[in-house]
A = this chain, B = another copy of it.
Amino acid sequence: MHEQLSAMLRTHPQPQTTFDPAALAACLDACLECSAVCTACADACLGEREHLAHLVRCVRLNLDCADICAATGRILSRLTEADQGVLRAQLQACVATCRACGDECTNHAQHMNMVHCAVCAESCRRCEAACTRLLGSVTA
């Protein structure tokens, strides 16, 4: 995780009690990474001139995943007056999207040898796992 972002979580004036701190930091990191990697994967797919027609669904899911992970990352960056229902619902949306996008990218990595899709699939899997873990770590 970015050192500065982890310093922000530590220096926040209000203690956060919703999540296990390590699971929160890992999930926030994974969301930010996945959002950026999906933005880059959509663009890399656009650069695959010969294969572009086969990558339309991948571009679309990359764009959705980039938007949803970005929103999730922003919400996780806020510790003040968190609403658990909002957090839970957005984390569930993030899990669903990372799974769909990761499946699509894995498919292109395996059958079309798209290296950037392999990289993106890994970020999606990591984010899906981190969101799933965070959903389970709600300290109630």
Contacts and interface: CB of A to CB of B under 8 A. Distances in A.
Interface of A: 2, 4-5, 7-9, 11-14, 28, 32-33, 36-37, 39-44, 46-49, 52-53, 56-57, 59-61, 63-64, 66-68, 70-71, 73-75, 77-83, 85-86, 88-90, 92-93, 95-97, 100, 115-116, 119-120, 122-123
Task: Count the copies.
Answer: 4
B73 A36 contact: yes
A103 B11 CA distance: 19
11 contacts: A4-B33, A5-B33, A9-B40, A11-B119, A12-B47, A40-B77, A46-B56, A56-B80, A60-B81, A67-B70, A68-B75
B71 A36 contact: no
A79 B42 CA distance: 11
Contacts of A47: 12-14, 56, 79-80
Q: What 4 A-B pairs have minimum CB-CB distances, sorted nearest first?
A: A89-B96, A8-B40, A14-B47, A89-B93
Contact of A7 (B64, B92, B119): B119
